[in-house]
Structure 1
Amino acid sequence: MELMLYTLRTVAYAIVDPMHLFMLVALGIMFYIKNRRISIMQKMTIGESINSPLELTLSQIALGIIAGAIVSIMLSGFGIIFNENSGIEIMFMISITLLFIKKRYMGFAYSGAILGAISIFSNILAELTKTESYINVNILVLMSFVGLIHIVEGILIMFDGRRGAIPVFTNKDNKIIGGFAYNRYWALPVALFIAITSDISSVTTSAVATPDWWPIINRPGALLLLSSAIIASIPLYGVIGYNSVSFTKEKNKKPIYSGIGILIYGVVLTLIAQVASFGIVGQIIVVAFAALGYELMLKIQNKIEKSGKYLYVTDDNGVAVLEVAPNSPAFESGVRRGDKILEVNRNKVTSEVEIFRTIRENFGEISFRIKKISGEIVDLNIIPKNKRVGMLLVPRMVKADSTLSVDNDDFKKVLEEMKRKR
């Protein structure tokens, strides 16, 4: 219990300390700028913003702090300890740097593999030159840490990855397909245990007595380290993100599938990390698996995505509803995402043009015959508000010069392209 409270105090220190608070504010501003673009894109596609930039940002910060506390407690429970010259802070720097270079590679799977490879190379070079290695991270501990991070990341994506999703379209098999693009980030204050043989740094909190059963991971080596060091907890900020596009999964289900895949990867990596205790060969295997295993997990998820059935397609049976704005006339009447509009004012419809024309030409109530996603056919009456009903429909066809590509790594380019085509 004392160890857990000590860990939580370190996480709290990362939130209130001026220097760490500055980092949190800087990340918050960066998140807000991205979320403002998302809110604008929602308004341009749906007619109104589903999520406000402030709501998206505050939820990212709040959930990131909670996730950071959970990760920190897990790290303290397993006894993940790094020595002074492990260079573990480099992994956080690499991760944040990759966020600005290529968002796809910002995960700790890549930054951890990079740090692990640097450490292995540094140790081999030091042994050959009979010098001291400047970076000497315990690969078993490092990869166990990365595995635990991904376990919590998977849970976070399942719980919050759907928020701020943007409706998008693509052309598949000569048909316009509707789907959703996900772009979500969280800032995690993580408390790391460092074995310090010199004076405790001013950025740490007070040292704490450790229980007899601690640590669980790498017990022999860690006990040897503990015998000549003081254990202190140091807070660092990490950023994890979720970027994906789906055309075959429901909006709320895609992050669940993605989160489960990342969670499984985290569990497997944590288990495989124990192979690093068998020497240099085991360390190389674990470091290689960290990056390659993550790539394999992504490829499996992409294959599952591509093998699925397109959900939002307009065809001869009706016009598909991709999204419904909250508090809109359509939403209040009972129209939901995934429904298909069969008739408008008792006239069969085969394209969105017929629906838009009817809405523009009518000032009163409009009757819709709709096939619900469950298969039930219902009749609904909707009164447009300012010539809008609040539905985003999947078009039957689009002119080539009106289309735009979706790069889920750069929403800014998509937004600029949308503004130009408007």
Structure 2
Amino acid sequence: MDLAIYTVKAVAQAIVGSGYTTILIMLSLILYFQNRKTAVMQKAIIGESINSPLELTISQVVLGILGGALGSILLTYSGVMFDEKSGIELIFLTSVVLTLVKPRFICFAYSGAVLGALSLLTNDIYIYFTGKPALEGFLKLDITALMTMVGILHIVEGLLVALDGNRGAIPVFSNTNGKIAGGYALKRYWPIPVVLMLLTVVTAGDGTDVSTTTIMTPDWWPVIKTSHAAKLLETAVLAAAPIYAMLGYSSVTFTKTKREKALSSGLYIFIYGIVLTAVAQLARFDNIVISLFVVAFAPLAHELMLKLQALKEVRGKAKYVSDEDGIVVLEVAPNSPAAHMGIKAGDRLMEINNRIIESEKDVLEGIKQTLGKMEVKIKQVNGAVKELQYGTFAAGQRLGVVFVPRYVPKEGMVMGYENMKFKDFMDKIQENDEDEDEDENNED
């Protein structure tokens, strides 16, 4: 049977097979309830959800399955395989445990490094000093195969982030040089069925239940020709074992659109996956020092990748900052009056019904006093000034935009997306405006 067909069938087994369907449903439900929170936050900030929880969940599950199929085919064709007693399945449990330390440690760069280090410690290093393995051969992982798997999964993750990482973004704000900058918090997870090739050593008459399925492999297979795999292939049966994993992505940007940020992050992750896959091949030399270097490279290079992205963000120019040209729009709700008029993120509100917008309070008052036709003057991202109309604006109706306030409140409070809702922030700003009006009246 062709490798690709065999792998796809194994992925299908992970979707509809006994027991696996339950796992997929459970993961989908967890994602759905997370997406409900995202939709609620979007609705509280904008007036309606940009993406429905169901839409967010379906895209995660469908793309996760496609990503799992792609990753599994890459793993199979590259020849990544493990001894059935290697304990490779512990990488997923290790990721969950490390998440309790820091959420971003769910990445396999960290759990793979932990298992790789334990494997070298209990086998290669322990054998060097005592002449025998510490765990009787358990947790003996092929470092080349392990880190190649981590690299390939990051290649898949990079593609998923680029395609789907911008969905469910939450508007956030920060203080930059005494002004408020708008941005986006992005967080996405994808459940992926990963098919791992396991090698079971079979001896005549040992009673082992061997599958009758024969996997036809090309002459050039496997690409990764480790001594460990070569020895096992002489006396082992090759079988596919589907296991579910979770790929995750979390980031914040104030210098890019949410789409640009997803593409940029996806590219960084993709390149990291390529580099790690290449570096993993150094472990073929079966040298403890080189293997330790490869194991350490995975988390250190991952940290470097994150630092480079953060440095680029810090040195970049804030994209959404209101100024004398108008109040900048950060987000537009679909099917809202603003969306129907053609207002987009990055546009600046200059006038509402001939009322010049000098502060966020003018925006709120202009909307509040509008009945019937609304006329809006905006300055687009490209610098063009346009006048837009909406003819059926009703009392109490929302424009459907999130705008970036121009001034930081007196107390110096700036909203952090993790500890304060947008509504609370806007209430603070309105209270600040009212205090200023009272101060002016007292002076008069």
Q: Please report the TM-score for the alignment, with normalisation by the length of structure 1.
A: 0.93
**Partners of 1:353 and 1:361 in 2: how far apart?**
12
Cα distance 1:202–1:47, how it changes in 2: closer, same or farther (>3 A)? farther
**Partners of 2:422 and 2:33 in 1: how far apart?**
14
Q: What's the offset of the Cα at 1:351?
A: 1.3
* 2:93 partner letter: M
Matched, 1:135 2:136: no
Cα distance 1:193–1:138, how it changes in 2: closer, same or farther (>3 A)? same
- The structure 1 residue matched to 2:347, chosen from 336, 339, 348, is 339
Q: Is the Cα–Cα contact under 8 Å of residues 193 and 244 in structure 2 kept in the other structure? A: yes
Post-superposition CA distance 1:63-116 (Å, at most 9, x none): 100000000000111111111222110101112333455221111111111111
Post-superposition CA distance 1:19-66 (Å, at most 9, x none): 222221121111111101000000011110011111111111111000
Matched, 1:187 2:191: yes
Partner of 1:217: 224
**Partners of 1:201 and 1:217 in 2: how far apart?**
27
Q: Which stretch has the larger CA shift, 130-139 or 293-302?
A: 130-139
**Partners of 1:311 and 1:318 in 2: how far apart?**
14
Cα distance 1:324–1:65, how it changes in 2: closer, same or farther (>3 A)? same
Partner of 1:268: 275
Matched, 1:241 2:242: no
Cα distance 1:120–1:209, how it changes in 2: closer, same or farther (>3 A)? same
**Partners of 1:235 and 1:173 in 2: how far apart?**
51
Partner of 1:232: 239
Cα distance 1:100–1:28, how it changes in 2: closer, same or farther (>3 A)? farther
Q: Is the Cα–Cα contact under 8 Å of residues 188 and 237 in structure 1 kept in the other structure? A: yes
Post-superposition CA distance 1:116-169 (Å, at most 9, x none): 111111112244332433210000111011111101100110000001111111
**Partners of 1:19 and 1:350 in 2: how far apart?**
60
**Partners of 1:330 and 1:204 in 2: how far apart?**
61
Cα distance 1:243–1:396, how it changes in 2: closer, same or farther (>3 A)? same
Aligned partner of residue 262 in structure 2, secondary structure = helix
Q: What's the offset of the Cα at 1:196?
A: 0.6
Post-superposition CA distance 1:280-325 (Å, at most 9, x none): 1111111111000000011001111111111111122210000111
Post-superposition CA distance 1:198-242 (Å, at most 9, x none): 489989894523232210112554222201100000000110111
Partner of 2:435: none
Q: Which stretch has the larger CA shift, 192-201 or 108-117?
A: 192-201
Q: Which stretch has the larger CA shift, 255-264 or 207-216?
A: 207-216
Q: Which stretch has the larger CA shift, 143-152 or 360-369?
A: 360-369
Q: Is the Cα–Cα contact under 8 Å of residues 154 and 263 in structure 1 kept in the other structure? A: yes
Partner of 1:410: none
* 1:142 partner letter: L
* 2:317 partner letter: K
Q: What's the offset of the Cα at 1:346?
A: 2.4
Matched, 1:395 2:405: yes
Q: Is the Cα–Cα contact under 8 Å of residues 404 and 417 in structure 1 kept in the other structure? A: no
Aligned partner of residue 231 in structure 1, secondary structure = strand
Q: Is the Cα–Cα contact under 8 Å of residues 204 and 233 in structure 1 kept in the other structure? A: no
Q: Is the Cα–Cα contact under 8 Å of residues 415 and 422 in structure 2 kept in the other structure? A: no
Q: What's the offset of the Cα at 1:362?
A: 1.8
Q: Which stretch has the larger CA shift, 124-133 or 340-349?
A: 124-133
Aligned partner of residue 365 in structure 1, secondary structure = strand
Q: Is the Cα–Cα contact under 8 Å of residues 175 and 408 in structure 2 kept in the other structure? A: no
Structure 1: gaps of 5 or more residues: 408-412
**Partners of 1:358 and 1:252 in 2: how far apart?**
31
Q: What's the offset of the Cα at 1:5?
A: 0.4
* 2:151 partner letter: G
* 1:108 partner letter: F
**Partners of 2:59 and 2:211 in 1: how far apart?**
28
Q: Is the Cα–Cα contact under 8 Å of residues 341 and 349 in structure 1 kept in the other structure? A: yes
Aligned partner of residue 252 in structure 1, secondary structure = helix
Q: Is the Cα–Cα contact under 8 Å of residues 314 and 351 in structure 1 kept in the other structure? A: no
Partner of 1:125: 126
* 1:165 partner letter: A
Cα distance 1:57–1:258, how it changes in 2: closer, same or farther (>3 A)? same
**Partners of 1:12 and 1:205 in 2: how far apart?**
19
What is the percentage of aligned positions where both structures have the same residue?
Answer: 45
1:360-399 aligned within 5 A: 360-383=368-391, 384-385=393-394, 386-399=396-409
Q: What's the offset of the Cα at 1:347?
A: 3.1
Q: What's the offset of the Cα at 1:345?
A: 2.3
Structure index of larger Rg = 2
Partner of 1:15: 15
**Partners of 2:420 and 2:37 in 1: how far apart?**
10
1:200-349 aligned within 5 A: 206-278=213-285, 279-349=287-357
Cα distance 1:201–1:242, how it changes in 2: closer, same or farther (>3 A)? farther
Q: Is the Cα–Cα contact under 8 Å of residues 82 and 199 in structure 2 kept in the other structure? A: yes
Partner of 2:159: 155
**Partners of 1:57 and 1:228 in 2: how far apart?**
44
Q: Is the Cα–Cα contact under 8 Å of residues 126 and 133 in structure 1 kept in the other structure? A: no
Structure 2: gaps of 5 or more residues: 429-444
Q: Is the Cα–Cα contact under 8 Å of residues 147 and 280 in structure 2 kept in the other structure? A: yes
**Partners of 2:94 and 2:315 in 1: how far apart?**
34
Cα distance 1:267–1:59, how it changes in 2: closer, same or farther (>3 A)? same
Partner of 1:46: 46
Q: Please report the TM-score for the alignment, with normalisation by the length of structure 2.
A: 0.89
Aligned partner of residue 208 in structure 1, secondary structure = coil
User: How many residues are paired up?
Assistant: 417
**Partners of 2:56 and 2:343 in 1: how far apart?**
25
Q: Is the Cα–Cα contact under 8 Å of residues 205 and 233 in structure 1 kept in the other structure? A: no
Q: Is the Cα–Cα contact under 8 Å of residues 95 and 239 in structure 1 kept in the other structure? A: no
Aligned partner of residue 184 in structure 1, secondary structure = strand
Q: Which stretch has the larger CA shift, 244-253 or 347-356?
A: 347-356
